[in-house]
Homo-oligomer: A and B are copies of this chain.
């Protein structure tokens, strides 16, 4: 996997303008999704898993019932990179199909 440069604070702020439901917390790109129930939440995760594996970029994510919390960060760069922004955008597109 090629080295990806860390986003500058300005670049990270700009990326958030295209991801209004996301925030940066403890240096990670973060969103909490709330689906109707476990089936919808896990449906999202299953659809996302394929995209995640294809991108070879893995989130830290937690689920309980209809809630899925996602945190993105690029370990190899020690911070946020364009890969996190791309994965966030991909997750948004998948979630939109399953949101109430």
Which chain A residues have a beta carbon within 8 Å of chain B's beta carbons? 38-39, 42, 45-46, 49, 52-53, 58-65
Contact = CB atoms under 8 A, between A and B. Distances in A.
A97 to B, nearest CB: 18
B53 A64 contact: no
A32 B35 CA distance: 25
Number of copies: 2
B64 A60 contact: yes
Nearest to A60: B64
A58 B38 contact: yes
Contact of A62 (B39, B46, B62): B62
Contact of A39 (B42, B53, B63): B53
A66 to B, nearest CB: 9
Contacts of A59: 64
A53 B42 CA distance: 10
